[in-house]
């Protein structure tokens, strides 16, 4: 039973398929907002198979073990995080006290692997991309964790299923709007979506940390990004929008969040890396700390 949960549903194949589907929805929405047609429904599938069938070039001077295994570890981290969140509206496959922190850090594992992969290759663009990736990780991670902490404080538990049960169908984004906004924007920083795609700035540093990756390694990183998108959306929808009761609920809530994400992507230009760090450490952290102060104060008074 647990093997099926791990490999097919809700981890493994289902998470990969969901990742590809959500990547398509994201690209199609952005295209529509930009008044163009956008990709066909099977585009991410074709992209993935094409990359898997391409020759994989291992550049000179890299550590071959790291080069081959970092993409695998990144995808494995993202897929494992899918086991602890209520994917497809069903209760999480595995649940234990503290699994919220484990899920968030498994998602950060993907960003860390991207940074390491960039630092591993000797290309100057990869190294700059890796430095930017890790700088961005350092800047949004704390506010994002704190923003996920506020429903946990209200529920009194670090366990995802406990938090959902304690909200009792009530939408936490009404009572904690500030940390909802910080969590959503934090998810955009985690996924390196515009306006936070300085680590992957095509016009500046070719392709960022993954410049030298081709073929299978690149396909695995892209799949990991897609799974991270689904898992992140599920987590925020579950914590802030009153839990995910059934698959239809899951689809409506996560796609609703994805529409907001696509809108923000099309509206804003790319931020410089120092603007990103400034934004997060000045406004992001302060806003979420203010929200936490309000919550803790309310609990002490009431």
Partner 1 sequence: MNINPEHIWDGALEKLKTWARINSPWAIHYNSGSCNGCDIEILATLTPRYDLERVGVKLQGSPRHADILICTGPVTLQSRERLKRIYEQMPEPKFVVAVGSCAISGGAFQGCYNIVGHVDAVIPVDVYIPGCPPRPEAIIDGVVKLLESLKKTDGRAQSTDDRLQNTDNRSQTADAGQ
For residue 215, state whether it binds partner 1 (rule: CB under 8 A): yes
| Residue 246 φ/ψ, nearest 5 degrees | -155, 170
Report in angstroms how near the CB of residue 197 gets to partner 1 at its nearest.
Answer: 12
Alpha-carbon gap, residue 56 to 72, rounded angstroms: 14
State which of positions 173-202 bind partner 1 (CB under 8 A): 202
Alpha-carbon gap, residue 274 to 238, rounded angstroms: 32
Alpha-carbon gap, residue 129 to 96, rounded angstroms: 36
The answer to whether the beta carbons of residues 91 and 236 sit under 8 Å apart is no
Closest to partner 1 by CB, 120 or 179: 120
Closest to partner 1 by CB, 45 or 112: 45
Binding mask 16-45 for partner 1 (x = CB under 8 A): -----------x---x--xxxxxxx-xx-x
Q: What angle do CA 78, 125, 20 make, to 5 degrees?
A: 30
Stretch that binds partner 1, among 182-190, 209-217, 233-241, 247-255 (CB under 8 A): 209-217
Report in angstroms how near the CB of residue 87 gets to partner 1 at its nearest.
Answer: 27
State which of positions 55-84 bind partner 1 (CB under 8 A): 55-57
For residue 212, state whether it binds partner 1 (rule: CB under 8 A): yes
Cβ within 8 Å of residue 262, ≥6 positions away: 26, 29, 30, 33
Alpha-carbon gap, residue 239 to 175, rounded angstroms: 12
Cβ within 8 Å of residue 75, ≥6 positions away: 110, 220, 221, 223, 224, 227
Alpha-carbon gap, residue 120 to 284, rounded angstroms: 31
Supply 171's token pair: 């939408």
For residue 221, state whether it binds partner 1 (rule: CB under 8 A): no
Report in angstroms how near the CB of residue 132 gets to partner 1 at its nearest.
Answer: 14
Report in angstroms how near the CB of residue 213 gets to partner 1 at its nearest.
Answer: 7
Of positions 84, 213, 250, 280, contacts partner 1 by CB under 8 A? 213
Report in angstroms how near the CB of residue 212 gets to partner 1 at its nearest.
Answer: 6
Closest to partner 1 by CB, 34 or 269: 34
Binding mask 86-125 for partner 1 (x = CB under 8 A): ---------------------------------------x
| Residue 11 φ/ψ, nearest 5 degrees | -90, -165
- Total residues interacting with partner 1, rule: CB under 8 A: 34
Alpha-carbon gap, residue 90 to 10, rounded angstroms: 9
Stretch that binds partner 1, among 76-84, 104-112, 205-213, 292-300 (CB under 8 A): 205-213
- Other C-beta atoms within 10 Å of 262: how many? 20
Interface positions with partner 1 (CB under 8 A)? 27, 31, 34-40, 42-43, 45-50, 53-57, 125, 202-203, 206-207, 210-215, 218
């Amino acid at each position: 039973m647990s093997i099926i949960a791990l490999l097919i549903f809700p981890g493994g194949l289902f998470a990969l398929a969901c990742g590809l589907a959500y990547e398509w929805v994201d690209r199609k929405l952005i295209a529509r907002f930009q008044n163009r047609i956008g990709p066909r429904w099977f585009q991410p599938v074709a992209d993935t198979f094409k990359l898997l069938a391409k020759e994989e070039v291992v550049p000179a001077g890299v550590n071959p073990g790291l080069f081959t295994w970092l993409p695998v570890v990144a995808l494995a981290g993202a897929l494992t995080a899918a086991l602890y969140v209520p994917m497809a509206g069903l209760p999480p496959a595995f649940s234990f006290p503290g699994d919220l922190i484990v899920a968030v850090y498994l998602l950060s594992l993907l960003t860390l692997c991207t940074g390491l992969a960039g630092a591993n290759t000797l290309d100057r663009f990869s190294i700059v991309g890796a430095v930017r990736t890790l700088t961005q990780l350092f800047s949004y991670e704390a506010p994002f964790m704190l923003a996920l902490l506020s429903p946990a404080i209200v529920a009194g538990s670090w366990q995802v299923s406990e938090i959902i049960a304690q909200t009792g169908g009530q939408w936490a984004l009404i009572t904690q709007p500030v940390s909802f906004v910080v969590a959503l924007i934090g998810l955009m920083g985690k996924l390196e979506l515009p306006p936070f795609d300085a680590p992957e700035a095509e016009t500046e540093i070719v392709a960022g940390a993954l410049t030298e990756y081709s073929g299978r390694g690149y396909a695995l990183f892209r799949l990991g990004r897609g799974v991270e998108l689904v898992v992140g959306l599920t987590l925020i929808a579950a914590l802030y929008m009153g839990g995910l009761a059934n698959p239809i609920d899951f689809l409506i809530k996560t796609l609703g969040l994805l529409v907001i994400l696509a809108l923000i992507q099309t509206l804003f230009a790319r931020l410089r890396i120092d603007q990103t760090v400034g934004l997060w450490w000045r406004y992001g952290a302060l806003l979420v700390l203010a929200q936490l102060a309000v919550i803790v104060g309310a609990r002490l008074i009431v």
